[in-house]
Amino acid sequence: MIRPISTHSLALALAATTFAPAAEATTTEDSRHVTTSAAASTSAAEIKPPVAEKRAHTYTVHGITVEDPYDWLYDKSYPVVDDEDVLNHVKAENAYFEAKMGGQKAFTEALFTEMRARIKEDDSTVPQKDGDYIYWSEFEEGAQYRKHYRKPAAGGQAELLIDENKLAEGQEYFSLGAASISQNGRFLAYSTDTSGGERYTARIKDLQTGEHLPDVIENLRGGLTWVANDTALVYGPSTEEWRTLEAKLHVIGTPVESDVTLYKEEDQSFGVGAGLTAQEDWLIIATGDNETSEVRLIPAANPTATPILVKPRQKGVEYSVDVRDGELWVLTNDDHINFRLAKADLKTPGNWQTVIAGSDEFYLTDFDLFKDFFVTEGRLNGLDQIQLRQYSAPGKVTPITFPEPSYTAGLSNNPEYDMKVLRLSYQSMVTPSTVYDYDVKTAKLTTLKTQEIPSGYDPSLYVSERLTVTARDGTQVPVSVLMRKDRAAILKKAGIEGPGPLHLYAYGAYGYAVPPGFSTSRLSLVDRGFAYAIAHIRGGDDLGRRWYLQGKLFQRTNTFNDFVDAGRGLIAKGYTAEGKVTASGGSAGGELMGAVINQDPSQYGAVVAHVPFVDVVGTMLNEKLPLTPGEWQEWGNPITDKAAFAYMLSYSPYDQVVAKAYPPLMVTAGLNDPRVTYWEPAKWVAKLRELKTDDNLLVMKTNMGAGHGGQSGRWNSLKETAEEFAFILWQMGMAPKSEGE
């Protein structure tokens, strides 16, 4: 497997950071929202929503002509956004957002305070040994970002490696990307992004002197991998279109301009990544798209040697590799949709011999090689599985079992090749995040840390269920649900008659399975009588690879139908009622939100779409955009395929907006977002404002100094979650009355 961060690294500290689907970026209070004097002097009830000008624009593809009067919101100088008309419109939307949400400011602050009280402010990760040192990270009380530390395993003083708070000073946004310590422990290479545009700058710190080396690598994406006995780094530079098409070698102390290209990808739809094998003796350079991969191996001690091509790319065949004692291990879907594990001799790396055959029941998702055993991970009936196996008898399985009916579990930070005790992570919708050590010899699980909730949390008050609903084509769709056991009493006390509200969340793309994990912020809905449900819809790989394939390309609409039908099924089962379903999703999940409110708007009482991918046709036709060529395998190529164009047009949320009533809607965007460009939500909101026939609230907030993840810093990010929940509760009639109401 590719190990993107050297095993002598900050893997523990970085892996412990939680990233929400659409939340992280720092902005100042003044720049976060732009408020005009007119908006400030007008009451929220009187302010009118911005009306985007319609400018005639059409395009014709495959003989089909499409009108797009809001195309002008796409600043053609992007990634520079300096068109005054565009900026003025975005600022006007922000001003309208501030005005309409202004009445909920006190409630938002109350929710934020409530959510923050559930978070241990001076928290730290569980230390983990890696070579000669023990590594961990800490949050100090009140701090937005982490500090990363190490100390000698033999004993000694703690050493501060990175203070993210210091690096973030004066920045609207901050993100620590890769962080990798050289094998000799002397040098730390790390990268940072201060715009949200996902173009990172790498620097190297000499941990003996505390000084930075002159070497600075600009405009990179991905990891930083130490090779050649700690004299060089392998990294992936970004092209102008945000694509990573090369693996380059930087020799410490030499000009970046002289860096050597180890591999260059010619297919613009592929992306390149690099890492080390389990024993750190081979450099892995992998390239691929969403359905095809190709891997090369190079001796880590001699990175300019001629690469070994493991197996030439074959469309639809994915594989990843690792090496143990000169033997190649391969995870691949070449003969089974749910993957098999195979081995090969490095002299004949493409001759794969099966170790674990593919299974219709068990979905094999990952493997890790250690000195005395190996671990396979996967899912059985949608539930995570961790299995220990011996090299001498790979068919004999020692499973690590967990008691709850719905949970998420997996290997955590295990940086050393010779591990006797495995670090595991576990959580469920009821059980807070838990870190275990698993003794391989005795099979004993030891709890090292359970997420602390300072304001108090009693898991016995909650119940988690895993049920299925029947989609319109007969498919059984799993749904994980969290509720208070005394939900009925909470609703009665709040004066809510009949079934209570239910929040439904999903993603449904790229084979990403939304884990039924724990969330402290979610409790702010559940403790007010909401049921919280995660729909494990097609498009994710929750039930295996076929589940994913049934939600992509020409089966994409299964994803939308599953979500709508999941909500309808929960209504039928009495969990909620018509108009009492609220929903949210981000990015491709934002596309999901756009599609389901086009299809079944009356089901929803409020919807939040974060950085929504809603202009599917326009984006997939624009091959100059950062991710478009690599996305054609997921969505189809409308440029060359008429059927793909027509199918996309039939469901693209922006193109399918019509004159009818829509539910209350909150939309977010990031001006610097390279993944879902700001104009997609801007165009969608403009068209909704033009055509919708209802008086329901529609607001959009664009983070002017951030990207795809929203604001950075744990408190800034949490404030945005509080804002989202305030909107939902307000629209459901469950917020305190504000002035003017």
What's the pLDDT tens digit per position in 203-239? Answer: 999 999 999 999 999 999 889 999 999 999 999 999 8
Residue 487 parent element (H or E): helix 487-493
Q: Residue 211 gets which letter from DSSP?
A: P
Using CB atoms within 10 Å of the CB of residue 733, give its burial: 0 to 12 exposed, 13 to 18 middle, 19+ buried.
Answer: exposed
- For CATH 3.40.50.1820, list the domain ranges present in the chain: 33-117+578-731
Kindly tell me if the per-residue pLDDT of 5 is higher than 90.
no
Q: pLDDT confidence of 346, banded at 50, 70, 90?
A: very high
List 587, 652, 712, 717, catalytic entry: 587
Ramachandran quadrant class, 314 (left: phi over 0; alpha: psi -120 to 50; beta: rest): beta
Cα–Cα distance measured from residue 481 to residue 429, given in angstroms and rounded to the nearest whole number: 8
Summarised one tens digit per residue, pLDDT across range 492-505 is 998 998 899 999 99
pLDDT for the residue 44: 61
Under 8 Å between Cβ of 107 and 729: yes
Summarised one tens digit per residue, pLDDT across range 52-108 is 999 999 999 999 999 999 999 999 999 899 999 999 999 999 999 999 999 999 999
Average pLDDT, the chain: 90
End-to-end CA, the chain:
57
Q: pLDDT confidence of 717, banded at 50, 70, 90?
A: confident
List 123, 542, 565, 673, catalytic entry: 673
Q: pLDDT confidence of 402, banded at 50, 70, 90?
A: confident
Check whether the bond before 312 is cis (ω within 30° of 0).
Answer: no
**Three-class SS state of 635:** helix
pLDDT for the residue 240: 83
Average of per-residue pLDDT across 646-668: 98
Average of per-residue pLDDT across 616-627: 92
Kindly tell me if the per-residue pLDDT of 650 is higher than 70.
yes
Q: Residue 737 gets which letter from DSSP?
A: P
Summarised one tens digit per residue, pLDDT across range 595-609 is 999 999 999 999 999
- For CATH 2.130.10.120, list the domain ranges present in the chain: 11-22+124-450
Summarised one tens digit per residue, pLDDT across range 255-269 is 999 999 999 999 988
| From 555-564, 659-668, 728-737, the region with the lowest mean pLDDT | 728-737
Could you tell me which of 633, 683, 630 has the C-alpha nearest to residue 654? 683
> 650 pairs with which residues across the strands?
none
C-alpha 637 chain-centroid distance = 24
Under 8 Å between Cβ of 174 and 183: no
Average of per-residue pLDDT across 583-593: 96
Q: Tell me how crowded residue 574 is: count the other CB atoms within 10 A of its CB.
A: 9
Percentage of the chain beyond pLDDT 90 is 83
Kindly tell me if the per-residue pLDDT of 26 is higher than 80.
no
CATH superfamily to which 11-22+124-450 belongs: Prolyl oligopeptidase, N-terminal domain (2.130.10.120)
Summarised one tens digit per residue, pLDDT across range 408-427 is 999 999 999 999 999 999 99
Kindly tell me if the per-residue pLDDT of 435 is higher than 90.
yes
List 123, 708, 712, 717, catalytic entry: 708
**Three-class SS state of 718:** helix
Structure tokens of 65? 């002509």
Cα–Cα distance measured from residue 280 to residue 275, given in angstroms and rounded to the nearest whole number: 9
Structure tokens of 461? 């008050």
With tokens 């201060």, the residue in question is 194
Cα–Cα distance measured from residue 21 to residue 15, given in angstroms and rounded to the nearest whole number: 15
**Three-class SS state of 650:** helix
Structure tokens of 361? 């029941």
708 is catalytic: yes
pLDDT for the residue 6: 32
Could you tell me which of 258, 231, 236, 233 has the C-alpha nearest to residue 247? 236
Query: Which runs of E-coded beta strand occur in 164-211?
Result: 175-181, 187-193, 200-206
According to CATH, the topology of domain 33-117+578-731 is Rossmann fold (3.40.50)
Kindly tell me if the per-residue pLDDT of 25 is higher than 80.
no
Could you tell me which of 616, 449, 429 has the C-alpha nearest to residue 519? 429
pLDDT for the residue 675: 82
Q: pLDDT confidence of 737, banded at 50, 70, 90?
A: confident
**Phi, psi at residue 609, to the nearest 5°?**
-120, 110
CA distances from 686 to 59, 92, 381, 595 (A): 19, 12, 42, 16
673 is catalytic: yes
pLDDT for the residue 673: 79
pLDDT for the residue 24: 28
Cα–Cα distance measured from residue 618 to residue 243, given in angstroms and rounded to the nearest whole number: 19
148 is catalytic: no
User: CA angle 620-623-629, nearest 5°?
Assistant: 75
Percentage of the chain beyond pLDDT 70 is 93
Global pTM exceeds 0.85: yes
Laid out side by side, the sheet with 246-251 consists of 175-181, 187-193, 200-206, 212-227, 232-237, 246-251, 260-264
Kindly tell me if the per-residue pLDDT of 19 is higher than 70.
no
